[in-house]
Structure 1
């Protein structure tokens, strides 16, 4: 199966960039990312990797554009509907180019950049920003499996190696702790940030869609919200070729599917008792000066 044979492909190395760990795919187009011209009606979807980015992207896409008919739903993968601003992958248009080419309004744009590296124009234009955060333990597990299957990411090593990398803040896009807290602090001064939790989405997708609508001021009918809530259930998205990334060749779904479980509490199947104690201790230190709180089970 040549399309999945990436033995020739070397995984990228991590290096320190603007104070965080990065790989060249996300820094090669840096100047254009920083100079990106946001428009006032743009909606930025910001997350730490593997915190529910695709889920929230799809909810928003359906909220705004399901009226464009089945053609879009059946043929346009999510990563073209909601371009990844940070990306510069060989042989593909950059995220900036994809965003600039979007024919739809509002433009839905996603980023994994920590808050201090988000292009200035998003703040200057007072754009709406939707941030989704996921508890650190599940986020680490999901990121580990993602790195195993995605040849465009650094080699994660085994689970205990990766967990240490995660705690040291050396994963791509920097420390989880700074990322979730950075946007949380920014929300105190920038009222246009809607801060969501992955755990809340799992617990009651309908309620979270409702909250999103009220933040966006969108007058969506109850039937429509119901339909969106159904279409964005994990199992539906996992089966949907337009949302499950099965069309991306550098990702090997045989190792681990892009949409693996979408659960809260899967960390219990990965952390040993010792790892969990060590993690909790470290977590307390890292998170001691924030009001931000997470649930690791629901």
Structure 2
């Protein structure tokens, strides 16, 4: 990839599976897995050039992107894309349901509109926990850095990507609202991380009554509420708050 000009400006490599090139006006990403890969960019000429160079050196078949490593990708007319794992999530849930005894406990980062439709007909009990988005961003940054040592990005750059909806598991506010608008459902319990931290026992009792079972409480991680104040700059806090106000207004969130 370096031989054809990818990565001359800013390169990030992970076991030889990903190349990134960035300029002020151009961004090009070429992740690959075994013998499959994607060429992603904001410039059609750059994308065509990479594919052309690869086809000259290797036996490469260029196809329309629809699914990659379990991720389904939809492209809209305005150039934006929507990435989800609905089919993969259904497959995993089916596998777990076939091997785990009932009652089963599963966790997911999916918004309500990407959950298997059977959840709404069978009326599986759901507990959704939301958290101050600024604390979420800080937690996500540390998780990414600890989980993926090759993840080389500054905290500020990640926060910028977060409140511009450029990260996975987003957009954040649309995710939260997808559950909040279903608050009337009796098989859905809405909670916040803040209330869990402030009054853990009372929340545990709510969960116990909701599930109709006895819970054994186990604590882990400090999960400090408002910990973002120690790590976010004033500019980032301001941008997060403005982003939140804008989204709450557009989504009619309380």
Smaller-chain TM-score range? 0.5 to 0.7
Verify: 1:158 aligned to 2:120, yes or no. Answer: no
Question: Is the Cα–Cα contact under 8 Å of residues 21 and 170 in structure 1 kept in the other structure?
Answer: no
* Per-residue CA distance 1:216-263 (angstroms, 9 max, x = gap): 233x3xxxx5xx23xx223xxxxxxxxxxxxxxxxxxxxxxxx4x311
Question: What pairs up with 1:1-298 in 2 under 5 angstroms?
Answer: 8=15, 10=17, 17-18=73-74, 20-21=82-83, 27=85, 30-31=86-87, 33-34=89-90, 85=92, 96-102=94-100, 104-151=101-148, 155=151, 157-188=153-184, 190-218=185-213, 220=214, 228-229=216-217, 232-234=218-220, 259=221, 261-288=222-249, 289-292=251-254
Question: Is the Cα–Cα contact under 8 Å of residues 10 and 151 in structure 1 kept in the other structure?
Answer: no
- Unpaired runs of 5+ in structure 1? 1-5, 37-84, 86-94, 235-258, 293-298
* Per-residue CA distance 1:1-54 (angstroms, 9 max, x = gap): xxxxx96375796988356445xxxx4xx53534x6xxxxxxxxxxxxxxxxxx
Change (3 A) 1:143 1:21: farther
Structure with greater Cα Rg: 2
Change (3 A) 1:266 1:142: same
- For 1:271 and 1:33, the matched residues in 2 are separated by 33
* Per-residue CA distance 1:188-239 (angstroms, 9 max, x = gap): 3x32110111111111211111011111233x3xxxx5xx23xx223xxxxx
Question: Is the Cα–Cα contact under 8 Å of residues 160 and 236 in structure 2 kept in the other structure?
Answer: no
Change (3 A) 1:20 1:196: farther
- For 1:8 and 1:163, the matched residues in 2 are separated by 26
- For 1:33 and 1:272, the matched residues in 2 are separated by 36
RCO higher in 1 or 2 (8 Å CA, sep ≥ 6)? 1
The structure where strand makes up a greater share of residues is 2
- For 1:113 and 1:9, the matched residues in 2 are separated by 30
TM-score normalised by length of structure 2: 0.64
Q: Give the superposition deviation at 1:96.
A: 4.2
- For 1:262 and 1:21, the matched residues in 2 are separated by 29
Q: Give the superposition deviation at 1:105.
A: 1.5
RMSD of aligned C-alpha atoms?
A: 2.9
* Per-residue CA distance 1:85-138 (angstroms, 9 max, x = gap): 4xxxxxxxxx64234211x22111221111111011111101111111111010
Count of residue correspondences: 186
Question: Is the Cα–Cα contact under 8 Å of residues 140 and 166 in structure 1 kept in the other structure?
Answer: yes
Q: Runs (4+) of structure 1 moved beyond 6 Å? A: none
TM-score normalised by length of structure 1: 0.55
- For 2:109 and 2:177, the matched residues in 1 are separated by 14
* Per-residue CA distance 1:44-87 (angstroms, 9 max, x = gap): xxxxxxxxxxxxxxxxxxxxxxxxxxxxxxxxxxxxxxxxx4xx
Aligned to 1:247: none
Change (3 A) 1:121 1:276: same
